[in-house]
Structure 1
Amino acid sequence: MNANHFIIKHASQEDIPALTAVERECFPAAEAASEEEIAARVHAYGKHFWLLFEGKKLIAFVDGMTTDQADLTDDMYEDASLHDENGAWQMIFGVNTIPSYRRQGHAGLLIRQAIEDARTQRRKGLVLTCKEALIHYYASFGFENEGISESVHGNVTWYQMRLTFPEK
């Protein structure tokens, strides 16, 4: 991966069609956010989207709201108004990379940027849910497995992972 060809930026209204297309390419219909949900998220917390472009092509993104709630709950996916810009925790709802760009370090680049931004913003840390097969991947960034989540999003078993920053 030649980092000179890639740009990371936050989301704006103009990015909604591309975000929707990538979301649909990355997740089954039962798990993918709709265009309306993505639009509401961008409107509420566009600064908490990390988009990776190769030239003008969106190839990957990470997104999630901030909140004082310590655990990621299903209602957060559906209700962007739950975002609290001063929230203690950065939630990660999706780590999306279009299939032809996977296993090249793109998602990791965005995850590290989200972690760094949350640290700079003085959050307590980040929380995400993932399928069992990805526990090891997220652990490589410092996330700890907290076990099976209460989430039933998409009728799938999810594991909650948390990265907590050391207190200063």
Structure 2
Amino acid sequence: MSTLNIRPVQERDLDRCFAIETVSYSGDEAASKEKILKRINTYPEGFTVLENEREIIGFINAGATHQVELSDEEFKELIGHDPAGTQIVIMSVVIHPDYQRQGMAAKLMDDFIARMKAMGKTEIYLICQTELILMYEKFGYQDLGPSNSDHGGLSWHEMSLHL
């Protein structure tokens, strides 16, 4: 069993995070390298990576706000982000395909939720594909129904977790 570590992102993690994003998400669904760099530099408190002794294997990144609009594509570039905001919007929860279905997303999400609670945040929001609803419900997220977002040309569900 490999040793796992969850830690805040650092700028030197950019290339690996971008590689994981592009191999894990299809087409327009994946964030550009520039967007990931902006997320690292703008709100590192909302960006955590999961690594084993060899490499980063996954990450979560998010922004904070006072008013959530999940279909707002500009927020993915952190336009409207306010680090003092009590509501968190997750933009990516991603585990490299080589490490999926091994409980890694659960380890990362449990840590992320605990970090957000410790920071005094009150709610976490995300959008996900239909097949992931049950996974997020295991963490206590509630399905708010279909989203108006057409990010990446796909259909999404909005979910929230009250902290």
Deviations 1:78-110 (A, max 9, x none): x22432111111111111111110011111111
**Any unmatched runs of 5+ in structure 1?**
none
- Tell me which residue corresponds to 2:67: 69
* TM-score (structure 1 length as normaliser): 0.92
- Tell me which residue corresponds to 1:29: 27
- Tell me which residue corresponds to 1:42: 40
- Tell me which residue corresponds to 1:139: 137
Distance (whole Å) between structure 2 residues aligned to residue 146 and residue 81 of structure 1: 23
Question: What is the correspondence of 1:63-102 to structure 2 with a 5 Å cutoff?
Answer: 63-72=61-70, 73-77=72-76, 79-102=77-100
Is residue 125–residue 160 contact of structure 2 (8 Å, CA) maintained in 1?
Answer: yes
Distance (whole Å) between structure 2 residues aligned to residue 115 and residue 88 of structure 1: 13
Identity %: 29
Deviations 1:101-147 (A, max 9, x none): 00111111111111111111111110000011111110000000000
Is residue 6–residue 53 contact of structure 1 (8 Å, CA) maintained in 2?
Answer: yes
Number of residue-to-residue matches in the alignment = 162
Residue 93 of structure 2: SS of its match in structure 1? Answer: strand
Q: CA deviation at 1:70?
A: 2.6
Higher mean C-alpha deviation, range 35-44 or range 64-73 = 64-73
Alignment match of 1:51 (pick from 45, 49, 52): 49
Distance (whole Å) between structure 2 residues aligned to residue 56 and residue 128 of structure 1: 29
In the alignment, residue 76 of structure 1 is paired with which amino acid?
Answer: F
In the alignment, residue 74 of structure 1 is paired with which amino acid?
Answer: E
Is residue 22–residue 98 contact of structure 1 (8 Å, CA) maintained in 2?
Answer: yes
CA RMSD of aligned residues (A): 1.2
4+ residue runs of structure 1 moved beyond 6 angstroms?
none
Residue 48 of structure 2: SS of its match in structure 1? Answer: strand
* TM-score (structure 2 length as normaliser): 0.95
Residue 82 of structure 1: SS of its match in structure 2? Answer: coil
**Any unmatched runs of 5+ in structure 2?**
none
In the alignment, residue 6 of structure 1 is paired with which amino acid?
Answer: L
